[in-house]
Copies of this chain bind each other. A is one copy, B any other.
Amino acid sequence: MTLKFALLGAGRIGKVHARAIAGNPDAELAFVADPVADAARAIAEQYSCRVSTIDEIAADPTVDAVIICTPTNTHADLIEMFARAGKAIFCEKPVDLDVARAESCLKVVRDTGAKLMLGFQRRYDPHFAAVKKAISDGRIGEVEMIQIVSRDPGAPPMDYIKTSGGIFRDMTIHDFDMARFLLGEEPATVYATGSVLTDKTIEGVDYDSASVTLTTASGKHCTISNSRRATYGYDQRVEVHGSKGAVSVENQRPVTIELAAGDGFTRPPLHDFFMTRYVEAYAAEIAAFVSVLKDGASPSPSGEDGLRALKLADAALRSAKQGVVVVL
């Protein structure tokens, strides 16, 4: 039986998910809704689905699941609405930028028994997933120290930054999820420091460069290094050091040739965009969500995972602002 999906939000990330659904043999994109009529229509035409509204979708008994790709400030309301409507929900991160609101929303999810999966796609990237598997398989022994480097090719526009919740809630939050995913233990302390190095116009609004250290009760460490600028492309690395060895992810580039000349040996820059870097991850993420519906798998990351990452982001912001170590 093919599962019927509705897509809420036909923007950039909505298109990515539409393609993933269309390419999944167990799923069918039945509806798309977006206040921007042209955007909805474009997706409807490309994937032969119907333009609809949020209310109609919630009321339609044939709809199995919704993919929420709307603006962040609508996520919690939509999650509650579709949880009550009995639909399975995949929502782009975060549930909400406010911890209290996220918690009240997740209470509704629990009370309704709805299935909710959050969009930290990096867990489904084949390379990061292989790191996780190497750890689970005992290849590096006990995890001890993790280094995460995550750098964007360039900063988003000021308008985006102002509503993003800041670098820790917008960008580092992916690294917090990855840290929890790989540490296998909750962080107990957070130290963070932030600077404005790449674009002075955001001074006072946000940081563009951040370093974070997490520690756990058993003494594991995780450091995260973020920058909103990397001239060489989208830098996404993780390295896990354990008692028996270490495992790391190499950066990805669209073309892997090497040119040798008098000035040395040069390989091309990395992907310049998260959507091309994580194209396999987005497809695998939807496949995992389909598996939640079909096979009863637990959603990973869950709403709770999203909440915990958000709390780490809040702690990091407090640490950076006040120059203190935050004990959780």
Contact = CB atoms under 8 A, between A and B. Distances in A.
Interface string A245-270: 11111101011111111111111110
B231 A262 contact: yes
**Size category, A interface:** 35 or more
Interface string A206-230: 0001010101000111010101011
Contact of A257 (B227, B247, B267): B247
Contacts of A323: 189, 325, 327
Interface of A: 25, 46, 126-127, 130-131, 134, 139-140, 142, 144-145, 147, 149, 151, 189, 191, 193, 195-198, 209, 211, 213, 215, 219-221, 223, 225, 227, 229-232, 241, 243-250, 252, 254-269, 323-325, 327
Contacts of A225: 145, 147, 221, 223, 241
Contacts of A213: 191, 193, 211, 213, 223
B261 A250 contact: no
18 contacts: A126-B255, A127-B255, A131-B257, A140-B259, A142-B197, A211-B215, A211-B221, A231-B245, A231-B260, A232-B261, A232-B265, A246-B261, A248-B258, A249-B256, A250-B256, A264-B266, A265-B266, A265-B268
A213 B195 CA distance: 13
Nearest to A213: B211
A182 to B, nearest CB: 12
Contacts of A247: 257-260
B209 A196 contact: no
A264 B268 contact: yes
A279 to B, nearest CB: 11
Contacts of A189: 193, 323
A151 B149 CA distance: 18
Contacts of A254: 126
Contacts of A209: 144-145, 219, 221
A37 to B, nearest CB: 21
A147 B145 contact: no
A195 B145 CA distance: 10
A211 B229 contact: no
B243 A197 contact: yes
